[in-house]
Chain A
Amino acid sequence: MSARSDKVVTASFSPPAGRRSRQGDEGRACLSDAVQSPSSDPSGHLLPAGGEKEERAYRAAASVVDPEIPAVTIADLGILRGVEMEGDVAVARVTPTYTGCPAVLAIELAVETALREAGFEPRIERVISPAWTTDWITAEGREKLRAYGIAPPANASNSIRSLFGETEVACPRCGSLETARISEFGSTACKALYRCQTCHEPFDYFKCI
């Protein structure tokens, strides 16, 4: 089965009409090599290059938690792409995890409120390119997800492209690797539903994208 699945992947990704894909490395689980964060602190957060004011604005925006996973901040998830001062206006750039993520508006509103409360005149910019990837979730964010009961995304161990491919996902509660996927789509677009065969608890898995 796996040999055949591999063939599906290769064949479907031959670029049509002589074009070459920018991110053609289908063997990787998360396609983020071309779009690494510009700079980050030890926790992996993006830090602004500007002065004290900009950093204060960044920290205000970075404190906003994800409305659907309140255990992590939008900085942990890599959704907050940066905050820059343009004169007196604090411009926060945010990116959706999935194109149709219904939490986007709530997140933008929360960032706007947080900046206003910190004394800034806010402006929110939605950016979709480069596309968000689970590789932007910080090490701290991954640990927070695990502690919250959500298995963090697997790294380059498997590919979302492999039809019927099985990803090795550890149970966030007992750590067992004896887990089974129940559904590709879980409570939100960014998660899949798994069950641990050892402790028998169901859990969410943050899908690699």
Chain B
Amino acid sequence: MAAASSTAPSISGETLTAFLLRLADDHLVLGHRLSEWCGHAPMLEEDLAMPNMALDLIGQARSLYQYAGEVEGKGRDEDQIAYVRREREYVNCLMAERQNGDFAHTMLRQFYFAAFMQPLWQAMMTSTDERLAGIAAKAEKEVAYHIRHAGEWVVRLGDGTEESTRRMKAAVEALAPYVDELFESDDVTRAVAGAGIAPDPSTLRPAFDAIVGPVFAEAGLEWVETPYGQTGGRQGRHGEALGFLLAELQYMQRTYPGMTW
């Protein structure tokens, strides 16, 4: 580990902060989306499951925001980063902010995100950045349960009744344009990969496909190719969904700045 850090090129605090915020925003925004199901799930067990997964995601987001605040060095804490940044300053992937839709849509989105994150956390467990390696070792175990839970629903609904199959197929269609953005590579991801902090997302596609492929086969679902994908989240260009989400998420701190209870 020490040897790796001394040979890997170091990166600027600014680049590391940019990377951390992307990861943290993905988790906060998706965690918030999942929490919207609390009290509305199709059955009691799912009413427990979705907020529990949301808790994992928001806990991971907090660890990442705390670290980002320290690296950034401007005195911002996790709450200030989460609650008073504007929409264009959020750098989450577009998939995370998509509206929940029906239960099939929510579960497929969760499955995709978990299948993307598991290999990423797995690789980050040996990150040259020890703080991130610690966060990853914990998160990797948590996301394994998300894959299993969401994956089981993808199969159950995809290979279920006529109605559930129709809904799961509709979810596959609806989310297809948001998959490619997860694996985008740019200056930030390349710098982070070069420093041995995290793998470049573009290298994670085979691992993602290896998780999704067998579940789709079991569910009787077919992958849908889209002629073009939606992109822009990493540069702060979002769909209209995020603004509404942030309005709710940030309401208290916007109304009573600095409030605590």
Contact = CB atoms under 8 A, between A and B. Distances in A.
B209 to A, nearest CB: 9
B55 A100 contact: yes
B56 A4 contact: no
A185 B55 CA distance: 12
Contact of A98 (B120, B142, B148, B200): B142
B158 interface: no
Contact of B214 (A7, A129, A130, A187): A7
B149 A19 contact: no
A99 B52 CA distance: 11
Contact of B148 (A99, A131, A184): A184
B207 A12 contact: yes
Given A11-B207, A129-B137, A21 B144 contact: no
Interface string B142-154: 1011011101100
Interface string B123-150: 1011000100111011101101101110
Nearest to A161: B144
B71 interface: no
Nearest to A164: B152
Contacts of A128: 63, 134-135, 138
B208 to A, nearest CB: 8
Contacts of A154: none
B48 interface: yes
B170 to A, nearest CB: 23
Given A11-B210, A17-B199, A163 B53 contact: no
8 contacts: A16-B123, A98-B138, A160-B148, A185-B45, A185-B48, A189-B56, A189-B142, A207-B145
A100 B137 contact: no
A209 interface: yes
Contacts, number: 147
Given A8-B210, A163-B152, A17 B48 contact: no
A102 interface: yes
Interface of B: 45-46, 48-49, 52-60, 62-63, 115, 118-120, 122-123, 125-126, 130, 133-135, 137-139, 141-142, 144-145, 147-149, 151-152, 155, 193, 199-200, 203-204, 206-207, 210-211, 214-215, 217-218
Interface in A1-30: 1, 4-5, 7-8, 11-17, 19-23
Contacts of A185: 45, 48-49, 52-53, 145, 149
A186 B149 CA distance: 12
A4 B214 contact: yes
B123 A131 contact: no
- Main DSSP-derived SS at the B contact region: helix
B74 to A, nearest CB: 23
B55 A189 contact: yes
Contact of A17 (B144, B200, B214): B200
Contacts of B206: 14, 16
A39 interface: no
A19 B141 contact: no
Contacts of A183: 45-46, 48-49
Given A131-B141, A184-B145, 8 more contacts: A17-B199, A21-B126, A99-B135, A99-B142, A129-B134, A131-B138, A183-B48, A193-B45
Given A128-B138, A183-B48, A12 B62 contact: no
A144 B50 CA distance: 29
A160 B144 contact: yes
A22 to B, nearest CB: 5
| Closest 3 A/B residue pairs (Cβ) | A100-B59, A129-B134, A11-B210
Contacts of B48: 183, 185-187, 193
A189 B52 contact: yes
Contacts of B54: 100
A13 to B, nearest CB: 7
Contacts of B122: 13, 15-16, 21
A118 interface: no
B133 A129 contact: yes
B145 A100 contact: no
A31 B122 CA distance: 13
Contacts of B148: 160-165, 184
Contact of B55 (A8, A98, A164): A98
